[in-house]
């Protein structure tokens, strides 16, 4: 908590540092090199999902090391959303396993995923449109609270402390995401780009170790995408988050990711640095329509 407070205090400095970091290719490479020995936060091991005769995921395996931003790309129908839904436990897989911090997710129900430390944003924003920005973000943090009907009704002392902590964390996120001027505004009255930032805040409020981002740049204009890129780097840096990012916006994926995994027809066709994946012929053929970037 104190750490986050300190982090919020130097937001501007952080943005300048993030810009400098983004411009330094050698810095990115050294981050990749230095994280090579880190433990994997997530291991997808031979995951297979079938819908009738369709194999949406075909023995998909890759690892997400702690602290990395991993981009998941692939043409329409490649299996990206299916994989996200497996990670969120919304879909069952018929073969393979998914390990989070070395522990299988097989026994974890969908409602237990957030308290385990996996947060998620949705393409179609999972927000309460008639509630304010602050209320939406605060609701995202409720999975981290212990209070229930009885403890709230009895106003037990720790309930008050918990609520105060949640309110403080919400304010810090409102600040971090530059939402202070609209904190009391109803979500439905905000432009789409701002709503996407609220969605990010809602997911961050659950204090995830792993953040799953489902097309965060979808529907954003050029300037908003640039700002999002800076924000994602800043969040990773300051909150020590690991991120898995499904995105069609190639420029964003290649610039923000440390590692890129490419899917096609439910199979992993490439897994490497953005430069390696961009130069991969199979990816070029499958995804980039034959035009090397
Ligand atoms: N619930 C479902 N029932 C039947 N088939 C499904 C279901 N969900 C996905 N599929 C099929 O699985 C395959 C992978 O779909 P998925 O949505 O995961 O791809 P995607 O890479 O996310 O595509 P897009 O980029 O268009 O969102 C597709 O052939 C799709 O039609």
pLDDT at 159: 60
State what percent of residues in the chain have pLDDT above 90: 62
Among the listed residues 216, 255, 212, 277, the one whose alpha carbon sits nearest the alpha carbon of residue 19:
255
Contact 258, 70 (CB under 8 A): yes
CA dist 243 and 250 (Å) reads 16
Query: Residue 246 C-alpha to ligand 1 middle, in angstroms?
Result: 13
* pLDDT of 112 above 80: yes
Instruction: Give the pTM.
Output: 0.80
Q: How many CB atoms lie within 10 A of CB 123?
A: 15
Cβ 257 under 6 angstroms from ligand 1: no
CA distance 212 to 189: 26
Please tell me the distance from the alpha carbon of residue 159 to that of residue 163, in angstroms, as a whole number: 6
pLDDT digits (tens, 9 = 90+) for 218-233: 889 999 999 999 999 8
Q: 88-93 long-range CB contacts below 8 Å, 24 or more apart?
A: 88/113, 88/118, 88/120, 88/212, 89/113, 91/49, 92/49, 93/47, 93/48, 93/49, 93/57
Contact partners, residue 272, CB within 8 Å, separation at least 6: 259, 260, 280
ipTM of the complex: 0.96
Express as a percent the part of the chain with pLDDT over 70: 78
Question: Where are the domain boundaries for CATH 3.40.50.300 in the chain?
Answer: 2-117+208-286
Assess whether pLDDT exceeds 70 at residue 58: yes
Q: Is the pLDDT of residue 139 over 80?
A: yes
Class of domain 2-117+208-286: alpha beta
C-beta 74 within 6 A of ligand 1: yes
pLDDT at 291 over 50: no
Cβ of 233 closer than 6 Å to ligand 1, yes or no, is: no
């Amino acid at each position: 908590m104190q750490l986050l407070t300190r982090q919020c205090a130097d937001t501007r400095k952080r943005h300048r540092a993030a810009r400098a970091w983004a411009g330094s290719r050698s810095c990115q490479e050294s981050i990749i090199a230095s994280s090579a020995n880190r433990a994997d936060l997530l291991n997808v091991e031979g995951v297979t999902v079938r819908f009738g005769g369709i194999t949406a995921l075909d023995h998909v395996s890759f690892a997400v090391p702690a602290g990395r931003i991993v981009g998941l790309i692939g043409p329409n129908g490649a299996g990206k959303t299916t994989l996200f839904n497996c990670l969120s436990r919304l879909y069952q897989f018929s073969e393979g396993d998914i390990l989070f911090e070395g522990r299988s997710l097989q026994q974890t129900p969908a409602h237990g995923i957030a308290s385990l430390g996996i947060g998620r944003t949705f393409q179609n924003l999972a927000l309460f449109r008639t509630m304010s920005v602050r209320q939406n973000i605060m609701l995202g943090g409720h999975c981290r609270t212990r209070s229930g009907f009885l403890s709230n009704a009895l106003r037990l002392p720790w309930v008050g402390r918990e609520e105060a902590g949640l309110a403080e964390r919400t304010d810090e996120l409102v600040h971090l995401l530059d939402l202070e001027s609209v904190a009391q505004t109803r979500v439905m009255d905000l432009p789409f780009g701002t709503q996407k930032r609220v969605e990010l805040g809602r997911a961050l409020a659950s204090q995830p170790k792993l953040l799953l981002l489902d097309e965060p740049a979808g529907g954003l204009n050029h300037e908003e995408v640039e700002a999002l890129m800076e924000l994602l780097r800043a969040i990773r840096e300051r909150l020590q988050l690991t991120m898995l990012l499904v995105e069609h916006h190639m420029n964003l994926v290649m610039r923000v990711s440390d590692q890129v995994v490419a899917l096609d027809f439910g199979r992993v066709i490439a897994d490497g640095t953005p430069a390696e994946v961009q130069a991969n012929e199979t990816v070029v053929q499958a995804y980039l329509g034959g035009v090397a970037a």
